[in-house]
Homo-oligomer: A and B are copies of this chain.
Amino acid sequence: MPRKTVIIGGGAAGLGSAGGVKAADPSAEVVVYTQFEDVAYSPCGIPYVHGGEIPDFERLFLAGKQAYVDAGIDVHYETEVTSIDTDGRTVTVGGEGVITYDNLIIATGFEYADPGVPGSELGGLYYVKNIRKAMEWDKVIAETKRAVVVEASPLALEMVTALAHRGVETHLIDPNPYALATMADADIMEPVQESWREMGVHLHFNTTLKAFLDDGNGQVRGVSTSDGDIAAELVVVATHKTPNNRLATAAGLKLGSTGGIIVDDHMKTSAPNVWAAGDVCEIPHGLTRTPLQGLTGSHAYAQGKAAGTNAGGGDRAYRAVYVPWGTPAGKWVIGGASFGETTATALGIPYVLGVAEGISRARYYPGVKKVKVKLLAEPGTLRLIGAQMVGGGEGIKERADFLAQAIRFGMTMHDLSTMENVYSPAIGALNEPIVVAATNGVAAAAKG
């Protein structure tokens, strides 16, 4: 008898899991339940179709449904799992009844945090998630003159830029003094915000959402804020991600302080034969063991692969994270790894700072872009604890990947100040900005 793995969720974590199970145990029966009409597309691409950078939604699809059939993965579309019984090893499925499993993987993903203000039932509130809905909302955007984006989250960075590209008068409201303030430093976001202003975006910081305003017909006509009303036909609710933990909570699984399911280093939950992966979990930060939740699609996929491999009888660890990140924002690309000044300060972590304003190519080579690099290190040892960057684009993502791995491996500012770098005018400057920042950090530390 083949063993049966049930997977709840058809996103990156769910499909990563399905592939992991099949790789470890090709004879396994794998059933994936998803509420949606589709799997195997890139939700991360949606803002870029809205912005016009990607010409159509069809390109976001990676594989047809047949590909999963061919791989022996049985995807049940538009099907909701309503409960889990970990003792009986069953799930209850809408339209299918009680279904048994040998192994279960929970990959139910995230929900946007409830804004907690009146009017959340109104039409015209856009929660960016599902591609079919995005196709409908794209037609709304085409007709929209004024839009409000609520909370300057990573998604908001993309959506503000996208709406501005589409010629919509865009207002961003956020309770913090600058955008992405729970993650990025003010000096990193400054050029982004300046570029938004150049693009005609209206920024409302230190501003709290009080209500979505009803036009009298159940459609939103704007928002009420601590700083007055803003009229708009469309509101993008880009609140932070929270784990979609309803099923896990009801099933009695152990949750952590973020609300995410607690998993061990093999993505195993507190319940027997149950694994979890993706935005529904929390994962410890590699330096502080602080639980983190709501990482990227790349993290979700890798976690799914680990959960699936282990559910399939294999052995694949998923370790603590050091969180490289990056995204275009306005006319810039920002990125980093682990802690910035803001997050380190909030956590009470002391640091030495090394900063450099460098360039991506030889200063005389066409297309040269600025690259600002900030490195944070532990005082004394000068072991790297974080990095933040803003630049014209080139190499921000690759540097963020590198710096996260450098943090994982305990590299110090000394180590980075003595690293070699490629020098070739069209692709790299004489002095790599990371090296200059580290050298400045070593000098700053020596001065005390």
B404 A405 Cβ-Cβ under 8 A: no
A327 B297 Cβ-Cβ under 8 A: no
Enumerate 24 A-B pairs (CB-CB under 8 Å) in ascending A order: A42-B362, A45-B364, A45-B425, A62-B363, A296-B423, A297-B423, A298-B420, A298-B423, A298-B432, A322-B420, A326-B422, A326-B427, A327-B426, A327-B427, A328-B424, A335-B422, A395-B397, A401-B402, A401-B432, A404-B420, A405-B411, A405-B419, A405-B420, A409-B409
A415 to B328: give the CA distance in the assembly, Å: 28
**Copies of this chain, how many?**
2
Beta-carbon nearest neighbor of A158 in chain B: B424
Of A365, A405, A432, the most chain B CB neighbours within 10 A belong to A405
- Which chain B residues border A423 with CB–CB below 8 Å? 44, 296-298
Is A428 part of the binding interface, using a Cβ–Cβ cutoff of 8 Å? yes
* A residues 410-448 touching B (CB-CB < 8 Å): 411, 415-416, 418-428, 430-432, 434
- Which chain B residues border A428 with CB–CB below 8 Å? 326, 397-398, 401
- Which chain B residues border A366 with CB–CB below 8 Å? 53-54
B48 A425 Cβ-Cβ under 8 A: yes
A319 to B417: give the CA distance in the assembly, Å: 12
B296 A422 Cβ-Cβ under 8 A: yes
- Which chain B residues border A420 with CB–CB below 8 Å? 298-299, 302, 321-324, 401, 404-405
- Which chain B residues border A394 with CB–CB below 8 Å? 394
Of A42, A321, A328, A422, the most chain B CB neighbours within 10 A belong to A422
Q: Name A326's contact: one of B45, B48, B322, B424 (CB within 8 Å).
A: B424
* A residues 55-86 touching B (CB-CB < 8 Å): 59-60, 62
A333 to B297: give the CA distance in the assembly, Å: 28
* A residues 318-370 touching B (CB-CB < 8 Å): 319, 321-328, 333, 335, 362-366
A335 to B423: give the CA distance in the assembly, Å: 11
Beta-carbon nearest neighbor of A406 in chain B: B405
Give the total of A residues in contact with B, Cβ under 8 Å.
66
Which 9 pairs show the lowest CB-CB distances between chains A and B? A398-B398, A298-B423, A59-B364, A397-B428, A402-B402, A395-B398, A326-B422, A397-B427, A397-B422
Is A209 part of the binding interface, using a Cβ–Cβ cutoff of 8 Å? no
Is A400 part of the binding interface, using a Cβ–Cβ cutoff of 8 Å? yes
Is A393 part of the binding interface, using a Cβ–Cβ cutoff of 8 Å? yes
A398 B409 Cβ-Cβ under 8 A: no
A333 to B427: give the CA distance in the assembly, Å: 9
Is A301 part of the binding interface, using a Cβ–Cβ cutoff of 8 Å? yes
A12 to chain B, nearest CB (A): 8
Beta-carbon nearest neighbor of A62 in chain B: B363
Beta-carbon nearest neighbor of A301 in chain B: B430
Is A396 part of the binding interface, using a Cβ–Cβ cutoff of 8 Å? yes
A43 to chain B, nearest CB (A): 10
- Which chain B residues border A365 with CB–CB below 8 Å? 45, 48, 53-54
Q: Name A400's contact: one of B44, B327, B422 (CB within 8 Å).
A: B422
